[in-house]
Structure 1
Amino acid sequence: MERIQWIDGLRGIAAFIVAFNHFFCGDLKTPFRSFWAEPAEGNRRIIQLPPFRLLWAMDAMVPVFMVISGYTIAHRLLQYRDNRPNLFIDRLRSSIFRRPIRIYLPVLTLATCTQLLFYFGLFESWYEERVAARIKPWESPVSHVVYLCEYVMDSLNLVQLQWNTNFNGHLWTMPLELRGSYVVYFTIFVQSIWRPLSRRWCLGLMLAYLVWYSQWDIFSFIAGLGLAELHTSRRHTAVETHWTVSYIIRSTRHWAQYDGWVDVRRVWHSIGAVAAFSVALESPHVQRLLASRIPQALGRLSFPIYLIHLSVYQIGIWPVRSRIWLLLEPRDYPSPEEEDQHMGALIRVFISGGTILGAVVMVLAELYMRFLEPQFATATRVIEMWLVQKRHRE
């Protein structure tokens, strides 16, 4: 089925914002300061105001990805359910099987390359004690293999998330992506023979339950499914249905009782992601903007950009920044406490360094799409066909 262009554009913008933020996240504090941060005089820069603040909204982009995934997964399957029911079960079965392979083949490839590069000393500028206790450059290849196996196993643990973020820390989203996808598949399967009104009521109750218990990731996926359900059923009925959701929400004790990873902010980010996506879904003007040339170019490369960018930064960010700083300011690189006194020079350093490393990320993302993506797609089909019984292939 055809891809939805404006969704590709939205995905591309979200990937760009994540990659853009990771370039200086942890090094510059000013853009990320909230309105309530102390001291108050640190909150008076124009880059902290809308719409500029959208550029620093890295954390909000994760639920945006999840809403997009929930919608696109459901949109394709619901079309089969409503238009080609004889193929629905086979399509659902194939999607359930292919999803982990399509997610984790690239993850395994990146994790393997990361360990090789670390072994050969290319991560010297990003070297933490917690990693040094397990693996070191040029020492014991076996320890790198063991570390890689443990990392992949941790990443595959959908029941008890491990948060193994020492390397490729941004890939903590992958088990959440697979788990949310499976929840969507299961929900579509269970509701496939229900009445449309029953499906919508059930999804609404699920959303309320997930918000109450701060399950922001599953909430985002199910919200995407709900939007797809409403959008699909509207095309097949004469009655126009609007996605109108009114939330009367207060923070419950469940919103922060587990750990720092599940907090109030992520719940609100998820609600905002659903609201933003639903606006785009109903706005032809927004869809035209997202279908324009630049968002589409970013959308085509969105997954490899997200996959590759952090490793590029970890290898090159400090050597590039430090050399540019010495060219512009022949003195020691400023500490975080000296950020405000050197903001102009730091901005020039980050723009120059970001341009260089950003170009590297884009080139690698293009190479990924040209050479690796077709191989991953072929491998997924081959594995599936090898496992499928003959009568189903025919």
Structure 2
Amino acid sequence: MTSTAERSLDGVPLLTATSDGSMHTIMERIKQAKQSGIRRWLTGIPFRPSLGVLRPSFLDRSTDAKPLHTTAWLDGIRGVASFFVFIYHFQHLFHTSFYTGYGGNNGKNDYWLIQLPIIRLIFTGGPMVSVFWVLSEISLSLKPLKLARSQAWDKFADTMFSSVFRRGLRLYLPVLAVQVCVLLATLVGLFDRAAELRKNWPFYGTNEEMHERKESAWAQISDWSREMWAFSNSFRPIRPSYDVHLWTIQLEFRNSIILFATLVGFAKLRPLVRIRLTLVLYLYCVLVEEGDVALFIAGIGCAEFLLIREERSKHLPSTEKQESQQQSSRTKVLWAAVYILGLHLLSIPAGRYEYTPGYRSLVRFAAHFVKNTEVSIQRIGAAVFLFALCGSDYLRRVFETRLAIYAGKISFPLYIVHGPLTHILGIRLVPFFWSIVGDATLFQYEVGVILAFLVLAVLVVWVADIVMRTIDTPSVRFGRTLRSWCVGKS
């Protein structure tokens, strides 16, 4: 008769000690246990080997029936801003006039409609980065602040742990996966034409920095590895040559950690005290010209404001709700004015802003408090713009459309793929279309640029959609799975 003592790991028998002392059985059980754990760990990654992965998600009608959540407009703004950044990073290769504002260059190339405030936001990238950062921190702050306001401290602690643990994975895993593809594309020569054009830049715009082709595959891999290692250090931000647009990722991660520390430090304060200290901290960051940190702090303030409005709406009696809705119609003009003010501040040009109508007096006033007036004004504009949207439901509607929400879903993948695709294909398409329509006149020049952008935009959106489903979403699931695996059962 055989006596058996069993232990289990992850639901798989680990040790089965029998009277014959079979070590082979024991080792097999250990192997099964490890394999079971690894299988569960990888379940967050949906492998889809079929060609169906190439089908864009917006063609799947099953996604249309999903109701919008209350903060869907945040995704919509993120999507619009991401696409505007893409437009900027393409058009600045072929133009320079967007650096100055309308009427800001003594009549020299300063009379284009695209140089006007608000309109120019479609073609400039810096303001959209500022909007990104406020948006990101509103999203990250909403749940912790809601738990803090309800004094659910156990859930608050668990939420903050999860946020800190997964933040780096959320930002860096998709980027790393795309950058591996960039390395492979470099090795097979897809960037060679862009490198040739850089040596004798044929366009009127910025000759954007990019990586060099090395003499051997090993040298290229070594160069890429050093670049990615430096890129991993968020305390020393760089513009990685394999995609210079990724500099924002390092600041996003670093400032997210600052945000989490601020949320923990402010959590148990009375709401009114927390709001006042958030405002003080925001103003301090603006005055010491840590504008990127100020935007993250502004996100806390906007999130708190959203929660206050939500709580007041829930607790109002039905009669008072009707009166409040009637009063809100009279405040639409006020919120619209704040909204337009934010957009105007966001629109300050990067060059000769001190001579640009609409900004001259503002710049002189701001110079008493900060040195880098243009960036400070722009970042204040981002905070004002988002604050207006937090206070006004009707202003959000344009960002709750199906197109805006879809753009929000692919916004991060679009951001990390548009740079490489522009260098691989975009700058090759422009000379191709010029060979068809000509480039002797300004009209022909612009037609070639616009046609190239339209073709590139289709490819970028398609690739971003694929990356969203195969890399970005699985990375989020992997972070959650890894967190659960590391924590274990409580």
The alignment's TM-score, normalised by the length of structure 1, stands at: 0.86
Alignment partner of 1:78 is 2:194? no
Between structure 1 and structure 2, the one with the greater Rg is 2
Residue identity opposite 2:450 in structure 1:
I
Give the AA of the match of 2:476: A
* 1:88 counterpart residue number: 156
Counterpart in the other structure of 1:339: none
Do the aligned residues in 2 keep the contact of 1:134 with 1:143 (CA within 8 Å)?
A: no
Q: Which residue of 2 aligns with 1:112?
A: 180
- In structure 1, the partner of 2:290 is 215
CA deviation after TM superposition for structure 1 residue 111, in Å? 1.6
Map 1:33-52 onto structure 2 (within 5 A).
33-35=100-102, 37-52=104-119
1:250 equivalent in alignment to 2:360: no
Counterparts of 2:96 and 2:478 in 1: how far apart (Å)?
43
The 3 A distance-change label for structure 1 pair 284 and 327 is same
Report the counterpart of residue 12 of structure 1 in structure 2.
Answer: 79
What residue identity is the alignment partner of 1:286? L
Matched residues in 1 for 2:245 and 2:258: separation? Answer: 22
**Contact residue 121 and residue 127 of structure 2 kept, 8 A:** no
Name the counterpart of 2:94.
27
Distance (whole Å) between structure 2 residues aligned to residue 172 and residue 132 of structure 1: 13
2:476 maps to 1:377: yes
Query: Paired residue for 2:406, among 283, 297, 308?
Result: 297
Corresponding residue for residue 167 of structure 2: 99
Deviation at 1:385, TM superposition (A): 2.5
Match of 1:347 among 446, 449, 457: 446
Residues 313-352 of structure 1, C-alpha deviations (whole Å, 9 max, x = no match):
01112221111001111xxx67xxxxxxx22112211221
Equivalents in 2 of 1:167, 1:43: separation in Å? 34
1:51-62 correspondence to structure 2 within 5 Å: 51-62=118-129
What are the ranges of 5 or more consecutive residues in structure 2 without an aligned counterpart?
1-67, 200-206, 317-323, 325-330, 346-361
- 1:136 equivalent to 2:235? Answer no
For 2:194 and 2:385, the matched residues in 1 are separated by: 36
The partner residue of 1:125 within 180, 188, 193 is 193
Runs of 4+ in 1 over 4 A off after TM superposition: 128-135, 237-240, 242-249
Offset, 1:170: 0.7
1:197 matched residue in structure 2: 272
**DSSP-derived class of the 2:424 partner:** helix
Offset of 1:252 from its aligned partner? 5.4
Alpha-carbon spacing, 1:64–1:134, altered in 2? closer, same or farther (3 Å): closer
- Equivalent residue of 2:193, what SS? coil
Q: What residue in structure 2 maps to residue 260 of structure 1?
A: none
Q: Does residue 1:322 correspond to 2:390, yes or no?
A: no
Opposite residue 354 of structure 1, the aligned amino acid is F
**1:80 Cα shift?**
2.4
The answer to whether the aligner puts 1:306 opposite 2:405 as a matched pair is no
- 1:155 touches 1:175 (CA, 8 Å); kept in 2? yes
1:191/1:34 Cα in 2 relative to 1: closer, same or farther (>3 Å)?
same
- Match for 1:358 among 454, 457, 466? 457
Paired positions, count:
371
Q: 3-state DSSP class of the match of 2:282? A: helix
Contact 1:181 1:221 in 2 (8 A): yes
Q: Report the CA distance between 1:215 and its aligned residue.
A: 0.8
Q: Tell me the CA shift for residue 59 of structure 1.
A: 1.0
Kept in 1, the 8 Å contact 2:414–2:460? The answer is yes
Letter in 1 for 2:218: V
Closer, same or farther in 2 for the Cα pair 1:306/1:167, shift >3 Å? Answer: same
Cα distance in 2, alignment partners of residues 320 and 299 from structure 1: 27
Contact 1:32 1:56 in 2 (8 A): no
Structure 1 residue 121, shift from structure 2 partner? 1.1
Q: Distance in 1 between matches of 2:210 and 2:407?
A: 38
Q: What SS does the aligned partner of 2:235 have?
A: coil
Cα deviation per residue 1:44-80 (whole Å; 9 max; x = unaligned)? 1223224432212311000100000111100121122
Farther-moved stretch of structure 1 (114-123 vs 78-87): 78-87
1:205-231 CA-partner distances (Å, limit 9, x unpaired)? 111111111111100000011111233
How far apart, CA to CA, are the structure 1 residues paired with 2:211 and 2:278?
45
Contact 2:102/2:113 (<8 A) preserved: no
Match of 2:393 in 1: 284
The alignment partner of 1:41 has SS state of coil
Any conservation in 1 of the 2:134–2:383 contact (CA below 8 Å)? yes
Q: Which SS does the other structure have where 2:91 is aligned?
A: coil
Q: Distance in 2 between matches of 1:21 and 1:131?
A: 12
Aligned to 1:187: 262
Compare 265-274 and 124-133 and name the one that shifted more: 124-133
CA 1:264/1:71 → structure 2, altered by over 3 Å: closer, same or farther? same
Inter-CA distance 280–234: structure 2 relative to 1 (3 Å threshold): closer
Determine the C-alpha separation between the residues in 2 that align with 1:133 and 1:372. 24
Cα RMSD between the aligned structures?
Answer: 3.0
CA contact (8 A) 1:74 1:188 kept: yes
Gap runs ≥5 in structure 1: 256-262, 335-341
Relative to 1, partners in 2 of residues 1:350 and 1:384: Cα closer, same or farther, differing over 3 Å? Answer: same
**In structure 2, do the counterparts of structure 1 residues 98 and 295 end up closer, same or farther at CA, with 3 Å as the change threshold?**
same
For 2:46, the equivalent position in structure 1 comes to none
Residue 13 of structure 1: how far off its partner (Å): 0.7
Which AA in structure 2 matches 1:322? P
Give the AA of the match of 1:251.
A
Tell me how far 1:131 sits from its aligned partner.
12
Partner residue in 1 for 2:222: 146
Q: In 2, distance between residues paired with 1:133 and 1:86?
A: 47
CA offsets per residue over residues 92-118 of structure 1, 9 Å max, x none? 101111010010001111222112111
SS of the residue aligned with 1:42? Answer: coil
The structural deviation recorded for 1:370 is 2.2
Specify the SS of the correspondent of 1:23.
Answer: helix
Aligned-partner Cα distance in 2 for 1:105–1:286: 34
Find the aligned partners of 1:76 and 1:133 in 2 and give their Cα distance.
39
